[in-house]
């Protein structure tokens, strides 16, 4: 079980060995210790960064655009706001991008206490994004 200090807990997908940095803090970084096979024989590690940020605004669209602009600086390929979706009663935005080596998926949701919780996944391209993202998001329990 991974815990983000104020907002949530979630479970990691069973199978690979995971390393968790700073569990129960405001930013938790999780990485596989096993290489995961993607397409064309490319192997890589899966990374997940879970963070919480107190907000002064409640405008999820503005937060999504700000998050997209920040992530775009890290990616050569376009980062898109692909949808808004609710996870366990908390509405959030989804950002996505991909290149020949890795895929990026970020969900950010604003809870009733005006705290933005963000889960950002980096997964080898072709490793089945849904296989890693969906079970993790489905396991979120809000505090």
At 119 the pLDDT is 97
Span 22-31, average pLDDT: 93
Question: Phi, psi at residue 131, to the nearest 5°?
Answer: -60, -30
Beta strand residue intervals within the chain, DSSP E: 2-4, 8-10, 18-21, 27-32, 36-37, 43-44, 47-54, 80-87, 90-98, 102-110, 115-124, 141-142
- Domain assignment present for residue 14? The answer is yes
- Domain assignment present for residue 82? The answer is yes
Q: What's the number of CA atoms in the CB half-sphere (13 Å) around residue 63?
A: 25
Q: Tell me: the pLDDT tens digits for 107-133?
A: 999 998 889 999 999 999 888 899 999
pLDDT over 70 (residue 40): no
- Domain assignment present for residue 37? The answer is yes
Percent of the chain with pLDDT over 90: 77
At 105 the pLDDT is 98
Span 36-51, average pLDDT: 84
- Domain assignment present for residue 136? The answer is no
- Domain assignment present for residue 42? The answer is yes
- Domain assignment present for residue 46? The answer is yes
Q: Tell me: the pLDDT tens digits for 44-69?
A: 899 999 999 998 789 999 999 999 99
- Domain assignment present for residue 137? The answer is no
Angstrom distances, CA of residue 98 to CA of 78, 119, 126 = 8, 16, 10
At 101 the pLDDT is 87
Look up the domain containing 73 and give its range.
Answer: 2-92+108-127
- Structural domain total, the chain: 1
- The mean pLDDT value of the chain amounts to 93
Span 6-27, average pLDDT: 93
- Domain assignment present for residue 140? The answer is no
The pTM assigned to this predicted structure is 0.92
At 34 the pLDDT is 87
């Amino acid at each position: 079980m991974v815990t983000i200090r104020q907002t949530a807990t979630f479970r990691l997908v069973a199978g690979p060995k995971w390393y968790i940095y700073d569990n129960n803090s405001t930013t938790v970084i999780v990485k596989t210790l096993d290489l995961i096979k993607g397409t064309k024989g490319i192997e890589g590690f899966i990374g997940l960064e879970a963070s919480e940020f107190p907000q002064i605004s409640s405008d999820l669209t503005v937060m999504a655009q700000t998050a997209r602009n920040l992530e775009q600086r890290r990616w050569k390929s376009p980062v898109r706001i692909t949808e808004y979706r609710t996870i366990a009663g908390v509405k959030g935005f989804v950002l996505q991008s991909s290149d020949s080596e890795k895929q990026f998926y970020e969900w950010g949701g604003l809870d009733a206490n005006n705290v933005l919780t963000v889960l950002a996944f980096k997964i080898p391209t072709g490793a089945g994004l849904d296989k890693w993202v969906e079970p993790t998001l489905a396991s979120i329990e809000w505090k």
